[in-house]
Amino acid sequence: MSGIFVTEDGTEVTAETIDGKLLLNAAEFAKATKWELKDIGLCNGPVCIPLRGIEVATPHGLDASLLAQVLRRRVVLDLESESGALGGDPQVRSAGLMDRIAPEVVLPDLDGNLHALSSLRGAKALLVTFATWCGCRYDLPGWQGLVDELAEFGLKVYAVAVDEDAEKVRRFTSDFNAPVMIDRHHVVSEAYAMSNVPTVVWIDEMGRVALPNSLAFGTDTFSDFTGVQSGPHLDAVRTWVRTGALPEVASDPVSDLSGDEIDARLHFRLAAAWRRHGRVDEAAKHFAIASELAPFDWTVRRAAMPLTGRDPFGQEFLDLYDQWQGNGAPYHGVRPI
């Protein structure tokens, strides 16, 4: 098959390596990203970025490395396998972290229907992430119970499984009434600088982040292991929904992803794409690189375990948990409530 270049939302663009450059099909890239090469520069609708002498176009396609340079995005390239992956707009993530403007995400539900996070505008909402490789897969009934309890106030939940297999996720959703999204390409973890699940974000009626990344559970199923009780966070949600009052930690800053952490997500995205194409060796290589770049990022290292035939609940996970704690339990988020 031809090479592939994976865009920020997981769309694949045909690629090939020529003269030491990864070159992309221009029409496919424009369709996937809305960025089109014109005489005045690289344009997305009315927004154009001048090229300033950068020769993005070649007779065989667009230079992926130079495109990323113009767009000021991270990019990872594998010239040998004629593949690469492009990061998201860092300004969107920065606006979320610094200015508390909730980054927009549009993800498919388990049946493939697209849902925008912004569609919940006008109501208080929780962005709740979980995964089948995490004990938090059992938490959806807890979040549903909270929604039911606060029905008169209109609380919404945008549930996102950071997972690959929709049918596997579906097994844990029978007691949840709203659509459940699947994020195969780790769009949410990049846009919101998440490094673990479950991570919960509170978003107000105006689409602003009221409480940034918080480690929170919908039930106490594994509280003895994690040391985190669900009650304090759930009580804080109740107070916020009813009165608008926020917990003290809401003003805590959340650190941005490092360059290595972003690159780890891109390698993971590329690895998952190769896995779907049956290219096991290429997939394994990029999963390994991703884990080396972000060894204590659970959305990368633990998420790769079931995709490479390893048990995400076995001894390897327990060893990783000990290593993570021994390194100060790094986490992109505020203090637990």
Query: Domain residue spans in the chain?
Result: 3-87, 92-251
Question: What pLDDT score was predicted for residue 1?
Answer: 61
231-243 and 140-149 are packed helices; what angle lies between their axes, rounded to 10 degrees? 30
Which pTM value belongs to this model? 0.95
In the predicted model, what is the mean pLDDT of residues 252-269?
97
Identify the band that residue 205 occupies on the pLDDT scale cut at 50, 70 and 90: very high
Burial state string for 63-93 with b = 16 or more CB within 10 A and e = fewer than 16: bbbbbbebbebbbbbbbebbbbbbbbebebb
Q: Average pLDDT over the chain, rounded to whole?
A: 96
Report helix, strand or coil for 86.
Answer: strand
pLDDT score, position 323: 96
Nearest-angstrom CA–CA distance, 29 and 32: 5
Whether 2 shows a pLDDT value over 90: the answer reads no
The top-level CATH class assigned to 92-251 is: alpha beta
Q: Where are the alpha helices (DSSP H) in the chain?
A: 26-33, 64-71, 90-98, 140-149, 166-170, 187-191, 223-226, 231-243, 259-276, 280-293, 301-307, 315-326
- Residue 58: exposure state from Cβ atoms within 10 A (0-12, 13-18, ≥19): middle
What would the pLDDT profile of 45-94 be if each residue is shown by its tens digit?
999 999 989 999 999 999 999 999 999 999 999 999 999 999 999 999 99
Mean predicted confidence (pLDDT) in 281-292: 97
pLDDT for position 190: 96
Q: What are the tens digits of pLDDT across the range 327-337?
A: 999 999 999 99
How many residues make up the chain in this entry? 337
The answer to whether the beta carbons of residues 81 and 46 sit under 8 Å apart is no
Over range 28-42, report the average pLDDT. 94
Report pLDDT digits (tens) over 139-171.
Answer: 999 999 999 999 999 999 999 999 999 999 999
Q: What is the pLDDT of residues 218-252, one digit of tens each?
A: 999 999 998 999 999 999 999 999 999 999 999 99
In the chain, pLDDT over 90 holds for what percent of residues? 97
Task: Supply 220's token pair.
Answer: 């106490």
Q: What percentage of the chain exceeds 70 in pLDDT?
A: 100
Q: At what angle do helices 280-293 and 259-276 cross, to 10 degrees?
A: 160
Mean pLDDT along residues 108-133: 98
